[in-house]
Chain A
Amino acid sequence: MEANKLVAQLSPGDRELIKIVQHGLPLVSRPYADIAARLSTTEQDVIQGLTRLINNGAIKRYGVVVRHRELGYKANGMVVWDIADDSVDELGSCIGKFSCVTLSYRRPRRLPDWPYNLFTMVHGRDREEVKQKVAEIVETCGLHDIDHAILFSTRRFKQRGASYTPPDNIEKPADYLKLRTAVDTAT
């Protein structure tokens, strides 16, 4: 599969660099020198490596990454749409252009349980604002006849940048079993 090929194209050096920068730059005057020291390489190598990952498209955006909820955008609705396969490209792009939207992905349906094939994330200060934004999207992109659902989040159990852990780092199943037992006992 295509994704696998791209994974394979990364050099071991790129992987080491990604492992360190994925959770953010150290907050010091010369963060790349700091990273270089940990990788036993040079500051210039680190900067060049990151430049390469940006230029080859592995890094989509490079800068400050914010959390919406802490900024006062308390409501986020995952809005899912059941769109005819031949219109999904056009409508996915249309929805993806709204400033309140932070994701617009096509995903497979899983019939009969799951009929929706376009996933968009809509943020607002409260649920009403999210619903208003969805109404605007329906109006602007002409989605009146398209079935959709808004799945509001009620609890966030975990949110952090993706971790690209290699397979040998998978913890032993026994650890998870222990955890399950601990949780069961605690509740």
Chain B
Amino acid sequence: MTDINTAFSELEKHIINDFQQDLPLSSTPFADMAERLGVSENEVLNTVNKLQESGVISRVGPVFTPNRIGVSTLAAMSIPSEDLECVARIISAFPEVNHNYEREHEFNLWFVVTASSEEHLAIVLHEIEQHAEYPLMSLPMMKDYFIDLGFKLQWA
């Protein structure tokens, strides 16, 4: 298991934790981060790049409010284990699918589908059922109770 206290340098920890909200919208955001951290802009760019390549940071940019600029749903399927990998690959191939996980339950494949409109979403869900050859349970969000403040690591 990764020990988060030793896996990251001080600079990496600050880059991970300190800029999850309200990144300044200036023309030079990385120079602004560098100034706050007391390092050079190049060090910030290199470190962000490295964290992005290793997958720790998925991106620097926007998290969109669910169902505001697109329409999305959480979908679940119940797939026999011998067919799961094949079906999961078919589903992941859809550009509208952004998360796709196996979970321990009778409904064992869970994925999020995001589209530009209700019509687009309905078409994609239909296509997925057609090509996966299993029925899909769609559970669109009705209400969001979560205030997104990012996910801060607590260093020991």
Residues A25-57 near B (CB distance < 8 A): 25, 27-33, 43, 47, 50-51, 53-54, 57
Partner of A165, one of B2, B111, B115: B115
B120:A167 contact, CB within 8 angstroms? yes
| 5 contacts across the A-B interface (CB closer than 8 A) | A51-B25, A54-B25, A71-B4, A158-B111, A176-B93
Residues on A lying within 8 angstroms of B by beta carbon are 1, 3-4, 6-7, 10, 18, 21-25, 27-33, 43, 47, 50-51, 53-54, 57-68, 70-72, 74, 78, 88-89, 92-93, 95-96, 99, 101-108, 110, 113-114, 119, 123, 125-126, 149, 151-167, 169-171, 173, 176-177, 179-180, 183-184, 187
A64:B130 contact, CB within 8 angstroms? no
B116:A105 contact, CB within 8 angstroms? no
Partner of A43, one of B22, B27, B103: B27
If A27-B48, A62-B23, A158-B99 touch, does A173 touch B127 (CB 8 Å cutoff)? yes
Residues of B within 8 A of A57 (CB): 65, 68
| CB nearest to A23 among chain B residues | B59
A25 vs B112: C-alpha distance when bound (angstroms) = 23
A4:B145 contact, CB within 8 angstroms? no
Interface of A is mostly: mixed
B58:A151 contact, CB within 8 angstroms? no
B101:A63 contact, CB within 8 angstroms? no
B139 to chain A, nearest CB (A): 4
A25 vs B32: C-alpha distance when bound (angstroms) = 15
A55 to chain B, nearest CB (A): 11
Give how many B residues have a beta carbon under 8 Å from the other chain's beta carbons: 97
A179:B93 contact, CB within 8 angstroms? yes
Residues on B lying within 8 angstroms of A by beta carbon are 1-4, 7, 15-16, 19-23, 25-31, 41, 45, 48-49, 52, 54-72, 74, 76, 85-86, 88-105, 107, 110-112, 114-120, 123-124, 127, 130-131, 137, 139-153
Residues of B within 8 A of A25 (CB): 29, 59-61
A107:B142 contact, CB within 8 angstroms? yes
A92:B145 contact, CB within 8 angstroms? yes
Question: Which of A63, A67, A113 has the largest count of B CB atoms less than 10 A from its CB?
Answer: A63
If A27-B30, A33-B27 touch, does A63 touch B60 (CB 8 Å cutoff)? yes
Give the 3 A-B residue pairs with the shortest CB-CB distance, closest first. A24-B59, A92-B145, A72-B2
A157:B145 contact, CB within 8 angstroms? no
A67:B52 contact, CB within 8 angstroms? no
